[in-house]
Amino acid sequence: MRIVVLAGGTSTERDVSISSGLLVSAALREKGHEVVLLDVFTGYEQDILDIDALFKSNYSFTDHAGVGETISDIDEVRERRRDQSNRFIGENVIDICSGADITFLALHGGEGENGKIQAAFDLLGLKYTGSGYLGSALAMNKGLTKSVLVQFGILTPAGMVYHSEEEAMAWKVFPCVVKPCSGGSSVGISIVENASDFASSVKEAFEYGDHEIVIEKYIKGRELSVGLIGGRALPPIEIIPNEGWYDYYTKYQAGAARDVCPARISPSEEADMKRAAETVYKALHLESYARVDFILDENGKPYCLEANTLPGMTPTSLLPQEALVEGVSYADLCEKIIELSLKKYEKK
């Protein structure tokens, strides 16, 4: 099979995406597929385009993988682009994806995960992995996600959406969590203990928040996540940071957290969490695969925090660890995601 793995982009999760893309590409090549790894933003900046040759040579735009302790400099990425345009989709990307059987979206955050690239591919008749534009848009916007969860009776921390720093000052409940409305990898998120630190946290969230942020009640408890393959929940995994909480650094620096899968929770707690994850998957119109994050409070109640339509596939990512517990290797997981994604198009 000919597969394009699309990674990179201009979101705050660019480095995470590239790390995922490199691993997915290597795994699919080991399975015998012809794989081209492209940066969705810079594209293929060569004057001569031979698509057949790119697939036969298993072209990759980079062989460097690594997620630093801080997010990458997106302005520097923009400056390196040959045509210096602001288009999200780079040179020759569409033509190369048109030559593939399917495009594996290894994108994270921003336009790669908010439904825009999915909608563009739908209009162009290009097949891709993961959820469609509707599910992607709903899950990316934490305010919309919270509204849907409430409608479906899913337990979630009480919260509000705010559109300005001044408006957000109406919030008076502490401790609380302040986070951008759209985004991932915990970028721009703060746990605020009291009013003295509140204003600075709101300001930081708006720097990443696309003109809106979510503030919600802080729920004390254990951090867990449930991956889903084809709508079926995998064994929950617990994330135990060495210190603090599960922030950007802890997510992607090896050894910064201990992951326990299956999580050491009671059978009833596991059943409740799996059931909630599967309900979230359906409620948000998710497809193929996803991951749903929870806080299990001191009374054993699972509070849903958010859903991820393109879960990370890095060396420290949670979904591959959960799949492995069920005997599904990383490479087999990548092929399963492709298999489930292609079935979407059979139905259509």
Does 309 have pLDDT greater than 90? yes
What is the CATH classification number for the domain harbouring 325? 3.30.470.20
Going by pLDDT thresholds of 50, 70 and 90, the confidence category of residue 72 is: low
Average pLDDT over residues 16-42: 96
3-state secondary structure of 118: helix
Are 235 and 261 within 8 A, CB to CB?
A: yes
Going by pLDDT thresholds of 50, 70 and 90, the confidence category of residue 270 is: very high
For 219-230, write each residue's pLDDT tens digit.
999 999 999 999
Within a domain: 137: no
- 40 and 90 within one domain: yes
Owning domain of residue 303:
147-152+220-347
- 186 and 73 within one domain: no
- 268 and 338 within one domain: yes
Q: State the amino acid at position 132 in one-letter form.
A: G
**Other C-beta atoms lying within 10 Å of the C-beta of residue 237:** 21
Q: State the amino acid at position 178 in one-letter form.
A: V
For 110-126, write each residue's pLDDT tens digit.
889 999 999 999 999 99
Helical (H) or strand (E) element with 208:
helix 198-208
Does 238 have pLDDT greater than 50? yes
| Residue tagged 């292609």 (tokens) | 342
- 316 and 239 within one domain: yes
Within a domain: 292: yes
Counting residues of the chain whose pLDDT is more than 70, the rounded percentage is 91
| CA distances (Å), origin 321, targets 21, 216, 259 | 17, 29, 9
- 110 and 74 within one domain: yes
Going by pLDDT thresholds of 50, 70 and 90, the confidence category of residue 185 is: very low
Within a domain: 54: yes
Number of domains comprising the chain: 3
Mean pLDDT, the chain, rounded, equals 91
Does 249 have pLDDT greater than 50? no
Q: State the amino acid at position 11 in one-letter form.
A: S
Does 198 have pLDDT greater than 80? yes
- Low-confidence winner among 28-37, 72-81, 239-248 (lowest mean pLDDT): 239-248
Domain stop point among 193, 217, 241: 217
- 206 and 186 within one domain: yes
